[in-house]
Amino acid sequence: MDKYEVRGIFEKTGRAVFISHLDLFRTMQRAMKRSKIPVWYSQGFNPRIYLNFPLALSLGVESCTEIMDFEIVEQVPYEKLLEDINKVLPEGLHFISMAAPVSKNKEIAFAEYVFDFYCEDRAPNEIAEKFDEMMSLDIIEVEKHSKKKGMVTIDIKPHINVVEKSIAEDSFHVTVRLPAGTELNVNSNVFSEAFTKYSGLEFSKISVKRTKILRADGTDFA
């Protein structure tokens, strides 16, 4: 049987940010069935639709650049794949492109996130000052879960690349590039928890959006 690899780039916004990774997998499987896309099923006693999400997104985080790989058993124009699946997806999930993959998943090295930190009893410029204080430290230690060792303490200071920062009307706005490879993955929750810890502030809201997934040379992965 001939198979054709497809890489879809989709947005996860609004209420869909509260769909867990496992539920996202199930949602996409149901969408594939309802759209009647000729998707490839795994072999064996209990065949399942093959889907692969190279970089899981933390719960509650928006994204405009999520990746889903799958395979089809008939050649279908990418425009039709887009149209068919978007018709059946729930609000907040929307594919923006379909194409043949050009990069291997192991090439993912970084992800960029946009954070907005809100604090009811501190002005945005005060939050910015606390951020600068944290980034001036030699070490920024956080606890992170390791598959082999359980919870471990790591220094994330060398791995934080501040791309841009600004003071909005009611929040401190910062774009950060973090490692997202197979050897080290510092997700958005780890970073926001570190800032909460080192700032000593009680944030009323932290808004996060993943905007880029990148190779080691800084080029777009997808």
Please give the Cα distance from 133 to 135 (Å, whole number): 6
Q: Kindly report whether the global pTM for this prediction surpasses the value 0.85.
A: yes
Contacts of 182 (CB under 8 A, 6+ apart): 106, 108
What burial class does residue 24 get, using C-beta atoms within 10 Å of its C-beta: 0-12 exposed, 13-18 middle, 19+ buried? Answer: buried
| Helix, strand, coil content of the chain in percent (nearest 5) | 25, 40, 35
What's the pLDDT at 144?
80
Please give the Cα distance from 60 to 201 (Å, whole number): 20
φ, ψ at 103 (rounded to 5°): -125, 150
55 three-class SS: coil
Q: Tens of pLDDT along 142-168? A: 988 777 777 889 999 999 999 999 999
157 Cα distance to chain centroid? 21
The first and second tokens of residue 195, run together, are 């800032």
**Nearest 10 degrees: CA dihedral of 9, 13, 16, 22?**
40
pLDDT in 10s for each residue of the chain, 222 residues: 789 999 999 999 999 999 999 999 999 999 999 999 999 998 777 888 999 999 999 999 999 999 999 999 999 999 999 999 999 999 999 999 999 999 999 999 999 999 999 999 999 999 999 999 999 999 999 988 777 777 889 999 999 999 999 999 999 999 999 999 887 899 999 999 999 999 999 999 999 999 999 999 999 998
**Nearest 10 degrees: CA dihedral of 106, 208, 98, 83?**
150
E strand residue ranges, the chain: 4-12, 51-52, 62-72, 93-99, 108-118, 141-146, 150-155, 161-167, 172-179, 205-215
What burial class does residue 38 get, using C-beta atoms within 10 Å of its C-beta: 0-12 exposed, 13-18 middle, 19+ buried? Answer: middle
Please give the Cα distance from 213 to 197 (Å, whole number): 26
